[in-house]
């Protein structure tokens, strides 16, 4: 079978193509309205789920490798994608799981770069999940969105990697308009607050939120209100990218 030949070649000769010891794992968060999800793959020979990941070509930038993996799984590119941590515990061995894969598929490989230790570089992305058609990779049966509150059993330390990514995303809310690519060109204050609440996983005080987000100077209020709303029509806002960039350059420290 063609697939098994490919797989065998990956185990026997993959190190001629990729850097040894280094992998990339992507935590792809999907947001839409009041929902925050994460994209997972169902591994063919294990049945459990995994974060989309891959290896780094010998002449490829690590950030490009992450973009490539993201593109292959979601069809999206040029979106908010950020390194957040390197997982470098020597006990996060992939040897056992690789041997199991090979056994299940009936391949006999005694020595492989895939049995060696891997450190993995974690990246996370934030996309609108309604704009994505998830695509499994060649070692997966399925590629699906899961609610971040109802995750299936995952291989290796992928649960831990996911958790770290979530904490980093929440931290980043203070510094970056991460919702920039999720809300459309204009949005109301309640819509932006919903985005923050969904990512943070908790309710925020309406007045505090409005005061703090306006104090950052990264929003611009438009002379236009939302039509067809039962109560007081809320104003539309847009991100003021120039102020945002200025704030970033100045450091955007809350102590200044």
Report if residue 85 touches a second copy, rule: CB under 8 A: yes
Q: How far is the CB of 180 from a second copy (least distance, A)?
A: 16
Q: Out of 8, 46, 60, 240, name the contact with a second copy by CB under 8 A.
A: 60
Report if residue 254 touches a second copy, rule: CB under 8 A: yes
Report if residue 88 touches a second copy, rule: CB under 8 A: yes
Report if residue 186 touches a second copy, rule: CB under 8 A: no
Q: How far is the CB of 65 from a second copy (least distance, A)?
A: 8
Binding window for a second copy (CB under 8 A); candidates: 43-51, 73-81, 102-110, 247-255: 247-255
Report if residue 176 touches a second copy, rule: CB under 8 A: no
3-state SS of the chain is CHHHHHHHHHHHHHHHCEEEEEEEEEEEEEEECCEEEEEEEEECCCCCEECCEEEEECCCCHHHHHHHHHHHHHCCCCCCEEEEEEECCCCCCCHHHHHHHHHHHCCCCCCCHHHCCCEEEEEEEEEEHHHCCCCCCCCEEEEEEEECCCCCCECCCHHHHHHHHHHHHHHHCCCCCHHHHCCCCCEEHHHHHHHHHHHHCCCCCHHHHHHHHHHCCCEEEEEEECCCCCCCCCEEEEECHHHHHHHHHHCCCCCC
Q: Out of 77, 152, 171, 222, name the contact with a second copy by CB under 8 A.
A: 171
Cβ closest to a second copy, residue 241 vs residue 248: 248
The answer to whether residues 11 and 118 touch, using CB atoms and an 8 Å cutoff, is no
**One symbol per residue from 113 to 152: x for binding a second copy (CB under 8 A), - otherwise; what is it?**
----x-x-x-------------------------------
Binding window for a second copy (CB under 8 A); candidates: 25-33, 136-144, 169-177, 220-228: 169-177
Report if residue 175 touches a second copy, rule: CB under 8 A: yes
Residue 202 tokens read as 């908790």
The answer to whether residues 143 and 134 touch, using CB atoms and an 8 Å cutoff, is yes
227: buried, middle or exposed (CB in 10 Å: 19+, 13-18, 0-12)? exposed
The answer to whether residues 192 and 213 touch, using CB atoms and an 8 Å cutoff, is yes
Binding positions for a second copy, 205-234, rule CB under 8 A: 208-209, 212-213
Cβ closest to a second copy, residue 145 vs residue 209: 209
Cβ closest to a second copy, residue 62 vs residue 109: 62
Report if residue 196 touches a second copy, rule: CB under 8 A: yes
Per CB under 8 A, residues contacting a second copy are 19-22, 56, 58-63, 83, 85-86, 88-90, 117, 119, 121, 170-171, 173-175, 196, 200, 202, 204, 208-209, 212-213, 251, 253-256
């Amino acid at each position: 079978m063609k697939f098994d030949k490919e797989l065998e070649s990956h185990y026997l000769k993959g190190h001629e193509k990729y850097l040894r010891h280094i992998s990339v794992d992507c935590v792809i968060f999907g947001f839409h309205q009041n929902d925050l999800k994460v994209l997972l793959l169902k591994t063919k020979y294990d049945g459990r789920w995994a974060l989309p990941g891959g290896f780094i070509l010998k002449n490829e930038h690590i950030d490009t490798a992450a973009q490539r993996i993201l593109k292959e799984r979601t069809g999206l590119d040029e979106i908010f994608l950020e390194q957040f941590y390197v997982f470098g515990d020597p006990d996060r061995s992939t040897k056992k799981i690789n041997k199991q894969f090979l056994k299940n598929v009936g391949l006999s490989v005694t020595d492989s770069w895939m049995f060696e230790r891997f450190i993995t570089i974690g990246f996370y992305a934030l996309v609108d999940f309604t704009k994505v058609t998830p695509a499994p990779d060649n070692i997966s049966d399925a590629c699906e969105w899961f609610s971040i509150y109802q995750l299936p059993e995952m291989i290796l330390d992928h649960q831990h990697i996911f958790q770290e990514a979530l904490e980093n995303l929440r931290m980043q809310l203070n510094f970056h308009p991460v919702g920039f690519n999720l809300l459309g060109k204009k949005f109301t204050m309640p819509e932006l607050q919903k985005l923050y609440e969904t990512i943070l996983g908790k309710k925020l005080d309406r007045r505090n939120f409005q005061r703090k987000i306006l104090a950052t100077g990264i929003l611009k209020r438009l002379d236009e209100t939302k039509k067809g709303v039962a109560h007081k029509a809320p104003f539309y806002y847009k991100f003021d990218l120039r102020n945002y960039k200025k704030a970033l350059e100045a450091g955007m420290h809350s102590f200044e």
